Structure 1
Amino acid sequence: MPVSIRDGRPVWQRRTPARQWAIWAAWLALVVLTVYCWQVMNRGTIWAFVEDAPQQAADLLSRSWPPAWHYLDRLWWPLWDTVNIATLGTLLGIVFAVPVAFLAASNTSPSTAILRPLALFIIVASRSINSLIWALLLVAIIGPGLLAGIMAIALRSIGFIGKLLYEAIEEIDPAQVEAVSATGASRLQVMDYAVVPQILPAFSGISVFRWDINIRESTILGLVGAGGIGVQLESSLARLAWSEVTVIFAVILVTVIVSEWVSAKVRQAFI
Structure 2
Amino acid sequence: MKTKTTHSVIKSVDLQIGYHHKSVVNTVAQHINFDVHSGELVAVVGTNGIGKSTLLRTLSDLQPKLSGEILLNSTPLSRYKANQLARQLSIVLTEGIPTKNLSVLEVIALGRQPYTNWIGNLSDSDIELVKTVLKDTGLNDLQDKKCYQLSDGQFQRVMIARALAQDTSLILLDEPTTHLDIYHKAYVLKLLKNIAKTTAKSIVFSTHEIALALQLCDKILILQKEKSSFGTPKQLIQQGSFSDLFESDLISFDPQSASFKIN
TM-score norm. by structure 1 comes to 0.22
Which gives a bigger RCO, structure 1 or 2 (Cα 8 Å, sep 6+)?
A: 2
Which structure has the highest strand share of the two? 2
